[in-house]
Chain A
Amino acid sequence: MKKSLFDQGYLDEQFCQVEDLQDEASPNFVEEVVTLFLKDSGRLMSNIEQALEKYPRDFNRWDAYMQQLKGSCCSIGASRMKNECMSFRDSCGQGNVEGCMRAFQKVKREHAVLRQKLESYFQLLRQAGATGAATRSIK
């Protein structure tokens, strides 16, 4: 499943860098970071959504919020979501409200898909871990 996440462009090499930081001292590091990302990105998207409504054509504000979200995406290797964030910022730079709105919908979609895929991925990992432990105990 992990390979498909990379092959389909949801994740990039940065995710591998995060995985490499997981060790015996921090056995759940990747899942912890992803959990932080999903929570933080949800909050940031909510901020953006409110800003789009409350501050019409405030491209500087919109861009500043999206810069934060893009930064988080880069940090965990959320590649497709990062690209949609960049499209949004491009539209801000062009003063294109419709472009921003379209791009933001794409950001939300990518976030929802990525959340689902990552949650499935970690669920599989947990199941594999439980199966491995059970197998070892039977042996």
Chain B
Amino acid sequence: MASCRSLGGEIGAPAPHVLAVDDSSVDRAVISGILRSSQFRVTAVDSGKRALELLGSEPNVSMIITDYWMPEMTGYELLKKVKESSSLKEIPVVIMSSENVPTRINMCLEEGAEDFLLKPVQPSDVSRLCSRVLR
């Protein structure tokens, strides 16, 4: 699988750090596995609230990839909070969902999501993200 580390980075540069957000433990494990196999450093959390807590303390998140449908705070709501924050708004946010709902997809993209991936996410989806999102 293509390594994201090789894309435009200096030799010896740390791997890009991705924050994965999903309330499903199975999906967190799978998306973390896919991201790690693409040489990302991954932190996985189970809610938007925890994601925001981490973003407040971890300055070097290169990308957020979040499930859309989560209790308490949806991925869309997390996206909005990130884009409303002066310190976080430059972080690319990718939304994942098991449902192909065009209005939902458009809403997320209009709010500033970089991409919208249908689950189950494939390694090829992540490779595509590497080249496009992490330039």
Interface residues of A, Cβ cutoff 8 Å to B: 14, 17-18, 20-21, 23, 25-26, 29, 32-33, 36-37, 39-40, 67-68, 70-72, 74-76
Contact A14 B120 (CB under 8 A): yes
Known: A39-B25, A75-B30. 5 other contacts (CB 8 A): A26-B33, A40-B25, A68-B24, A75-B26, A75-B120
Residues of B65-121 at the interface with A, using a CB-CB cut-off of 8 Å, are: 69, 98-99, 119-120
Residue of B26, B37, B69, B98 near A40 (CB, 8 A) is B26
Contact B24 A72 (CB under 8 A): yes
**Can you report 26 A-B residue pairs in the complex whose CB atoms are below 8 A from each other?**
A17-B120, A17-B122, A17-B123, A18-B33, A21-B34, A25-B36, A26-B33, A29-B33, A32-B29, A33-B26, A33-B30, A33-B33, A37-B26, A39-B25, A67-B69, A67-B99, A68-B24, A71-B98, A72-B24, A72-B27, A74-B98, A75-B24, A75-B27, A75-B30, A75-B120, A76-B26
| Dominant secondary structure at the B interface | helix
Interface size on B, residues (CB 8 A): 17
User: Closest CB-CB distance, A70 to chain B, in whole Å?
Assistant: 7
User: Closest CB-CB distance, B47 to chain A, in whole Å?
Assistant: 14
Indicate whether A26 sits within 8 Å of B24 (C-beta atoms), given known contacts A14-B120, A32-B29, A70-B98. Answer: no
